[in-house]
Amino acid sequence: MIDNPYYSPEVHKDFTLVSIGRLELEEGGVIPDCSLAVRTWGTLNAAKDNAILIPTWYSGTHQIWADAYVGPGHALDPEKYFIVCVNQIGNGLSTSPHNATDPSVSMSRFPHVRIGDDVVAQERLLREHFGIDRLALVVGGSMGAQQTYEWAVRFPDKVLRAAPIAGTARNTPHDFLFTEALNEQIWSDPGWNGGEYASHEEVHDGLVRHAHIWAIMGFSTEFWKQERWAALGFTSKEAFLGDFLEPYFTAMDPNDLLAMAWKWQRGDVSRHTGGDLAAALGRITAAMFVMPISEDMFFPVRDCAAEQSLVPGSELRVVEDVSGHLGLFAIDSQFIPQIDRHLGELLAIPR
């Protein structure tokens, strides 16, 4: 266990750690005492039928949802819904390599966790801690979208509506290779030391290179061509890279990033059906809006549309944003209004 101030309550506000106990993992490993970092908004009604679940994305926490997506006037309105954001295992707030107190699972010994393990843990948390058996909506972006698909396939009777944003049900070979390139920037830093560094700062150079790969693929070619960074107050693309993207990633724990990347690469709901993606997505009974971002180079519209066509009764709702995948951070002023419109229409569908 090592200290990293980035993962403190001062940076990521208003969350509670909830232990769900021993979690046995799909790959055969075990987390002896799995704690999930949970942020809630609103009040669970007496019928317990107004609950919305938000799983988090790679590198992200509940904080971006608090800052941009949830609040009065939004579709995710705490005056109407009880909203639960569960930080994924390995994200630095929930049980993760850098904060695990049990030496058997700390740092380089952290076991492989799959998307399915996150969803099993979340289902246990909701049922045992809150008494929630059905969800009005599951919504998540990127890796949160992978978890949204997993929820809808694994627990179809528990999910009334689902909105995977900028993510796929089965990761593509190209996306696997891209994520491997992200990982290699960390592995190639001598300070990485096989995952047994004393501080994330020892892997600074690798994390800088990691951030540079995100600059290339996380933002679209149009974002850079149109100099959209200027609207965010930066004077040059170099300033945007050096003052925003690099500090964002160099504050994080490398083992945590790698733990999330491993499951991102292997996200695949067809594991439930012997590799048959159509059969897996055919299990979904939720009302579903599949919501790719128009300029996303990780999860292109065509990949999301191909999967959406396999989900009974679903709709494709493309979110127009030249920012690309990292448009999820609500960089463009028109991003959240589109999300609110689509989610509002989804939530209005009777179930």
Tokens of 315: 């709709």
Residue 287, classed as helix, strand or coil, is strand
Q: Please give the angle made by the CA atoms of 154, 307 and 277, to the nearest 5 degrees.
A: 50
Q: E-strand spans in 76-217?
A: 82-86, 137-141, 161-165
Cβ atoms of 346 and 320 within 8 Å: the answer is no
Any idea of the CA torsion for 46, 74, 38, 317, to the nearest 10 degrees?
A: 100
What pLDDT is attached to residue 232? 87
The span from the CA of 321 to the CA of 260, in Å, is 25
The span from the CA of 202 to the CA of 21, in Å, is 32
What pLDDT is attached to residue 146? 98
The span from the CA of 100 to the CA of 292, in Å, is 34
Over the range 264-284, which residues count as b (16 or more CB within 10 Å of their CB) and which as e? bbbbbbbbeeeeebeebbebb
The span from the CA of 110 to the CA of 97, in Å, is 5
Half-sphere exposure of residue 206: CA atoms within 13 angstroms, side-chain side: 26
Cβ atoms of 115 and 26 within 8 Å: the answer is no
The span from the CA of 54 to the CA of 343, in Å, is 13
Q: How confident is the chain (351 residues) per 10-residue block, as mean pLDDT?
A: 95 97 98 98 98 98 98 98 98 98 97 98 98 98 98 98 98 97 98 98 98 96 95 93 96 98 98 98 98 97 98 98 96 96 98 94
pTM over 0.85: yes
What pLDDT is attached to residue 231? 86
What pLDDT is attached to residue 7? 98
Cβ atoms of 302 and 150 within 8 Å: the answer is no
Left (φ > 0), alpha (ψ -120 to 50) or beta: where does 140 sit? beta
The span from the CA of 144 to the CA of 112, in Å, is 18
Q: E-strand spans in 256-314?
A: 287-290
Amino acid at 126: L
Left (φ > 0), alpha (ψ -120 to 50) or beta: where does 199 sit? beta
What pLDDT is attached to residue 341? 98
Locate all alpha helices (DSSP H) within 46-172, ordered by sequence: 62-64, 115-125, 143-154
Residues forming the active site = 142, 296, 325
DSSP strand pairing (16-24 vs 30-41): antiparallel
